[in-house]
Structure 1
Amino acid sequence: MLITVSRSGGFAGVGKVRKIDTSVRQDAAAWEDLARRVMPPVADGFHYRITVDGQELVLEEMGLTGDQRELIRAVLGEMA
């Protein structure tokens, strides 16, 4: 399993990306279990990418706030 985590933003705008390849680790089972626990199951759910003046937000349908749903409905012209 390949796990990638990236961070961006912050005061200094210092980003960081790190990849963990579990196939070469003795503690692979623990890493893979943790990775599976943080990924929410979304059966046939929609994914959204909202960009506002260059700032990007990636969302899963199950975790949308009311305001996010309202914006998606307004822009796409359909029920979200």
Structure 2
Amino acid sequence: MRIRVRRTGGFAGIERSAEVDVSGPEWESLSAAVLADGDGGGGDRGVPDGFSYEITVDGRTVHCRDPRLTDAQRTLVTRVLKEGA
């Protein structure tokens, strides 16, 4: 499965993105949880200088913002940005 994370915002406003092509039950369950959580916060604008995330898993995209990421979203973002670097 192909997972892409795009992070924008923050104090400096620097965009960062990474993409990984992964497989395995751990990645599948984590990705399923992220997609099930959907767009946590909906129209919520987050906090000033907070990060906004666009998470795409095999063509399905959800958006989320700090500090309202679910545990699954935070874990996936961290892993993809680390592994895709």
TM-score by length of 1: 0.45
Which structure's residues are more often helix, by fraction?
Answer: 1
Larger-Rg structure: 1
Q: Highest relative contact order (Cα 8 Å, sep 6+), 1 or 2? A: 2
TM-score by length of 2: 0.43
